[in-house]
C-alpha cells in the first residue's frame, strides 16, 4: 500500500527494516533472555542517523518529525519491540527539550542526542504515582543557583543506560499538579543513583530501573521552561510521544501477523495447509484489517502533529489506545494460529505477545487514554452548545 511517504521517509523505512532484519533478528532471543541492553545495535542505529530523524537540522538532526520516528519505530518493533525502545524511549525523553528547552539547552544536548552519542530517559512515574501523575512526591527545592532533588522514580525506560534524564519533580507541593517542574538531570550528578533493574514480562532487552535522588544538586539552568510547568511539559510530551508507542504496537502486531501467515502456509493438518481452512483465513483477515486500521490512525495523527496541529491530545490518545489494543489482540491470535508451537519460546509469537502487553500500560494506561478521549468529547460538546 502507498502511504505517500517522502523519499526521505521511504529511506528511513528501508534502513530501519534492514537493521531489524540483519542486526536485531539474530539477537532478539538472546537479548530477551539475558536482558542485556543492546549497545551494539544502538551504535548501528546511530551510524545510520536514526537517532536524529525527529530533530531539527540546526541541532544535528535530519529535520523530520513524529511520522519519521513512527516509521522507524514500527519497522524495528516488527522484529523486536524491546530493542526498538532504545530509540523510542530516547525520543520520549528528548521531546521535553524540543518542546520546552531554551536555545542554550538545545545546543548543549540535542547534537549528541541526534548523533546517537547520548541516550535519554523520561522520569515521571513513582511507586505511588502512576496513572495519578499529579501525586508525585519527588521534591525539588531551590537553593541558590541550584535545585536539590529528593525522591524516587520507578519503572524508567532506559534507566541506568541513559546519560540524560528529563525528571518531573514538585517545586511547590501546595499547588498540586501546578507545583510540578521539569529538570534535565545528568547521569553522574552527585546524589543521583540507580535502584534495582526490573525483571519484566516483556520488552526485556530494554532497561527499566529505579532512579534515586538523595540531595541531588541540579544547576538552576537545567530547569525546563518555568517553575510550575512540569505537568504541562509531561502532558505535551505525551501528546507528541504516544504515536511512537502506537507505532511500536503496530510493528509488534505486524510482526506477529507475518509469523502467523508464514506458519499457516507451511503447517499441514488433514492433508493440506491450515491457511486453506476458512476459520484460519477469517482470523488472519481480521488481524490484517486491524493492523492496517491502526497503522492508518497512527500515521494520520503523526502527520497532524508534524503539520503543527496543537490540539492533538484526544487523537494522540486514540492512536495509542487503538493500536495497543490491536497489538494485544493480534499477538494473542497469532499464538492461537500457531497452536502448541505458538506457546513455545522456539517461535517468536509468544515473545511478541509478552511485548505487546506493555503498550497497553505505559505512557498512560488505556483506561487513562479513554478518560482523556471522553473528557475532550465532553468539552467539544459543551463548546458546540455554547
Alpha-helix residue ranges (DSSP H) falling in the chain? 7-19, 28-34, 39-47, 66-77, 81-100, 103-114, 230-266, 278-306, 313-338, 349-358, 366-385
Classify residue 188 as exposed, middle or buried by CB count within 10 Å of its CB (0-12, 13-18, 19+). Answer: exposed
Whether residue 371 is found in the same domain as residue 249? yes
Average pLDDT value for residue range 204-211: 98
Sequence-ordered list of residues with C-beta below 8 angstroms from that of 227, at least 6 positions apart, any chain: 171, 172, 181
> What is the percent of the chain with per-residue pLDDT over 90, rounded to a whole number?
96
**All three cell numbers of 175:** 499547588
List the CATH number of the domain containing 381: 1.20.140.10
Domain boundary among 72, 100, 119: 119
**What is the structure's pLDDT at 122?**
98
Q: Residue 189, class by beta-carbon neighbours within 10 Å (0-12 exposed, 13-18 middle, 19+ buried)?
A: middle
* Rounded CA separation 295/310 (Å): 21
Query: What range defines the domain where residue 268 resides?
Result: 231-385
CATH code, domain with 36: 1.10.540.10
Are 112 and 127 found together in one domain?
Answer: no
Nearest to residue 125, comparing CAs of 133, 113, 114?
A: 133
Cα distance between residue 358 and residue 126, in whole Å: 17
Regarding whether 344 and 262 lie in a shared domain, the answer is yes
Q: Is residue 2 part of a domain?
A: no
DSSP per residue over 85-134, as a string? HHHHHHHHHHHHHHHH--HHHHHHHHHHHHTTS--EEEE--BTTBSS-GG
In a domain, 1, yes or no: no
- In this prediction, residue 105 carries a pLDDT of 98
CA distance linking residue 201 with residue 30, whole number of Å: 15
Same structural domain, 244 and 356: yes
Same domain, 361 and 378: yes
Predicted confidence (pLDDT) per residue in 46-83, tens digit: 999 999 999 999 999 999 999 999 999 999 999 999 99
Q: Are 256 and 250 in contact (CB under 8 A)?
A: no
pLDDT at 86: 97
Residues 241, 292 share a domain: yes
Q: Does residue 147 form part of some domain?
A: yes
181 within some domain: yes
Q: What is the DSSP letter of 310?
A: -
Q: Are residues 221 and 278 in the same domain?
A: no
CA distances to 110, 112, 333 from 60, in Å = 7, 8, 42
Of 190, 206, 228, the residue at which a domain comes to its end is 228
**Tens digit of pLDDT for each residue in 98-157?**
999 999 999 999 999 999 999 999 999 999 988 887 789 999 999 999 999 999 999 999
The answer to whether position 16 is within a domain reads yes
The C-alpha cell at 199 is: 525483571
Write the pLDDT tens digit of every residue in 6-61: 999 999 999 999 999 999 999 999 999 999 999 999 999 999 999 999 999 999 99
How much is the pLDDT for 176?
A: 87
Average pLDDT over residues 337-362: 97
Confidence of residue 386 (pLDDT cuts 50, 70, 90): confident
Residue 200 has pLDDT above 80, yes or no: yes
Q: How far apart are CA 347 and CA 353, in angstroms?
A: 11
- Domain harbouring 140, CATH code: 2.40.110.10
- pLDDT tens-digit profile of 321-330? 999 999 999 9
What is the pLDDT at residue 172?
Answer: 95
Q: Is 30 considered catalytic here?
A: no
Residue 171, pLDDT above cutoff 90: yes
Residue among 126, 227, 363, 381 flagged as catalytic: 363
Amino acid 99: pLDDT: 97
CA atoms within 13 A on the CB side of 246: 33
Q: How far apart are CA 121 and CA 133, in angstroms?
A: 17
Q: Considering the domain boundaries, does residue 197 fall inside one?
A: yes
Domain boundary among 195, 211, 228: 228
Confidence band of 188 (pLDDT split at 50, 70, 90) = very high
* 99 and 186 both lie in a single domain: no
Residue 286 within a domain:
yes
* Helix, strand, or coil (residue 147): strand
pLDDT band at 316; cut points 50, 70, 90: very high
**Mean of the pLDDT values across residues 158-163?**
98
- What pLDDT does residue 181 have? 97
Indicate if 284 and 370 belong to the same structural domain.
yes
Q: Do 357 and 244 have their domain in common?
A: yes
pLDDT digits (tens, 9 = 90+) for 214-224: 999 999 999 99
How many domains does one find in the chain? 3
Q: Residue 133: inside a domain, yes or no?
A: yes
Q: Does residue 216 share a domain with residue 334?
A: no
Reported as a single tens digit per residue, the pLDDT across 267-301 is 999 999 999 999 999 999 999 999 999 999 999 99
Residues 148 and 291 occupy one common structural domain: no
pLDDT mean over 157-161: 98
Amino acid at each position: 500500500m502507498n502511504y505517500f511517504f517522502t523519499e526521505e521517509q521511504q529511506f528511513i523505512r528501508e534502513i530501519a527494516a534492514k537493521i531489524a532484519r540483519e542486526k536485531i533478528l539474530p539477537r532478539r532471543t538472546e537479548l530477551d533472555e539475558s536482558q542485556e541492553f543492546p549497545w551494539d545495535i544502538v551504535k548501528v542505529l546511530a551510524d545510520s542517523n536514526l537517532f536524529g530523524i525527529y530533530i531539527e537540522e540546526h541541532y544535528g538532526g535530519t529535520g523530520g518529525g513524529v511520522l519519521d520516528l513512527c516509521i522507524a519505530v514500527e519497522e524495528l518493533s516488527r522484529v523486536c519491540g524491546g530493542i526498538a525502545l532504545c530509540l523510542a524511549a530516547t525520543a520520549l525523553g528528548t521531546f521535553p527539550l524540543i518542546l520546552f528547552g531554551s536555545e542554550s539547552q538545545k545546543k548543549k544536548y540535542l547534537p549528541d542526542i541526534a548523533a546517537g552519542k547520548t541516550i535519554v530517559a523520561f522520569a515521571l512515574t513513582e511507586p505511588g504515582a502512576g496513572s495519578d501523575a499529579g501525586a508525585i512526591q519527588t521534591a525539588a527545592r531551590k537553593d541558590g543557583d541550584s535545585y536539590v532533588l529528593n525522591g524516587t522514580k520507578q519503572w524508567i525506560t532506559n534507566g541506568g543506560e541513559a546519560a540524560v534524564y528529563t525528571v518531573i519533580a514538585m517545586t511547590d507541593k501546595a499547588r498540586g499538579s501546578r507545583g510540578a517542574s521539569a529538570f534535565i538531570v545528568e547521569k553522574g550528578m552527585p546524589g543521583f543513583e540507580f535502584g534495582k533493574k526490573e525483571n519484566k514480562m516483556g520488552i526485556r532487552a530494554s532497561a527499566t530501573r529505579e532512579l534515586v535522588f538523595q540531595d541531588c544538586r541540579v544547576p538552576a539552568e537545567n530547569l525546563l521552561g518555568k517553575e510550575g510547568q512540569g505537568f504541562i511539559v509531561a502532558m505535551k510530551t505525551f501528546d507528541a510521544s504516544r504515536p511512537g508507542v502506537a507505532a511500536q504496537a503496530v510493528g509488534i502486531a505486524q510482526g506477529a501477523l507475518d509469523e502467523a501467515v508464514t506458519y499457516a502456509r507451511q503447517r499441514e493438518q488433514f492433508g493440506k495447509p491450515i491457511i486453506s481452512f476458512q476459520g484460519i483465513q477469517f482470523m488472519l483477515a481480521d488481524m490484517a484489517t486491524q493492523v492496517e486500521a491502526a497503522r492508518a490512525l497512527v500515521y494520520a495523527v503523526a502527520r497532524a502533529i508534524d503539520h503543527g496541529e496543537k490540539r492533538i491530545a484526544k487523537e494522540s490518545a486514540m492512536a495509542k489506545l487503538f493500536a495497543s489494543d490491536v497489538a494485544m489482540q493480534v499477538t494473542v491470535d497469532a499464538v492461537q494460529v500457531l497452536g502448541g508451537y505458538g506457546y513455545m519460546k522456539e517461535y517468536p509469537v509468544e515473545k511478541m505477545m509478552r511485548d505487546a502487553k506493555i503498550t497497553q500500560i505505559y505512557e498512560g494506561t488505556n483506561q487513562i487514554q479513554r478518560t482523556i478521549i471522553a473528557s475532550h468529547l465532553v468539552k467539544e460538546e459543551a463548546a458546540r452548545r455554547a
